[in-house]
Amino acid sequence: MHTEIPFHNIDPSFNIGPLEIHWYGVMYLFGFLAAWLLGRQRARRGTWGWTTDDVTDLILYAAIGVIAGGRLGYVLFYALGDFLADPLSLFRLSGGGITGMSFHGGLIGVLLALWLFARRQKRPFWAVMDFIAPLVPLGLGFGRIGNFINGELWGAPTDLPWGIRFPSGGDIPRHPTMLYEAFLEGLVLFLILWWISSRRPPMGVVSGWFLIGYGVFRTGIEFVREPDAHIGYLFGGWLTMGMVLSIPMILLGILLLAWAKRKDEYPPERPVETEDSETAGITDGESAD
């Protein structure tokens, strides 16, 4: 016998005057803000070869890639039938908020956007990716909290004491898998990548561990996450679309680590911003050694 939270009854939006604001969109804003603040803090230390203006441009490129790629990826991976029947559904965001987003599509969008950024900045692509990789997980965590507030992407039925009944999940307690992801893909992955990046490894190492870490955590959680109703299991009552998209990330991450070790190249020195470096409030991770 267990005591579960009786019902998920969080309102997914709130009002400021006549304006309706969705928490999911607010969580995206928090994620971009966290990445921007952490990136600027690193730039101010004057040891990474970045200026705060560089970081602002980087986050702007990344935000465009996440939103455009995330929306397109969701439509192609999870709602292709709806898109083919109504191509304009790509641009339709229900309820005035950001909904229908795919992490894997967002990742592809970010890769393309940051490739353009690297060319514009004349920086090695993997130096850019390694700089931003530790900033991404907190944004992922905020996004999953947004999923929880929306009462979506819930997990399989469970008898565990923290099972939650969701409005769209039937009258049974379910795994709050979005909170599992917020913790693992958000906080835990952030701490791992921040520590690895503080050791200044060769280019590609931090990005490789990001791919491996996210792929492992997401694949594991997929075993207790309910698949999208219109897709279901792809094979054997256990293989989900999330696994199909995440397992290759693990393999690519391993290949990237092997490539980085063989190349053993480090980001080139660049003019850096030193203003306010003495007053930067958060250590960059060197003390973790």
Annotated domain spans of the chain:
21-152+171-264
Low-confidence ranges of the chain (pLDDT < 70): 1-6, 78-100, 230, 269-289
Q: What local confidence, expressed as pLDDT, does residue 49 receive?
A: 86
Q: What local confidence, expressed as pLDDT, does residue 124 receive?
A: 95
Which one, of 214, 81, 199, 68, lies nearest residue 144 by Cα?
214
What's the longest Cα–Cα distance across the chain?
63
Instruction: Give the gyration radius of the chain's Cα atoms.
Output: 20
Q: Please report, for residues 51, 53, 197, the alpha-carbon distance to residue 6 in angstroms, rounded to integers and kept in the order given.
A: 49, 48, 42
Q: What share of the chain is helix, strand, coil (3-state, %, to 5)?
A: 60, 5, 35
Q: What local confidence, expressed as pLDDT, does residue 5 receive?
A: 59
In angstroms, rounded to a whole number, what is the distance separating the alpha carbons of residues 217 and 204?
A: 20
Six-digit token pair at 51? 């200026």
Q: Which residue has the tokens 């565990």?
A: 160
Contact status, residue 203 vs residue 266, Cβ threshold 8 Å: yes
Q: What local confidence, expressed as pLDDT, does residue 102 receive?
A: 76
Amino acid identity, residue 250? I
Which one, of 61, 161, 149, lies nearest residue 106 by Cα?
61
21 three-state secondary structure: strand
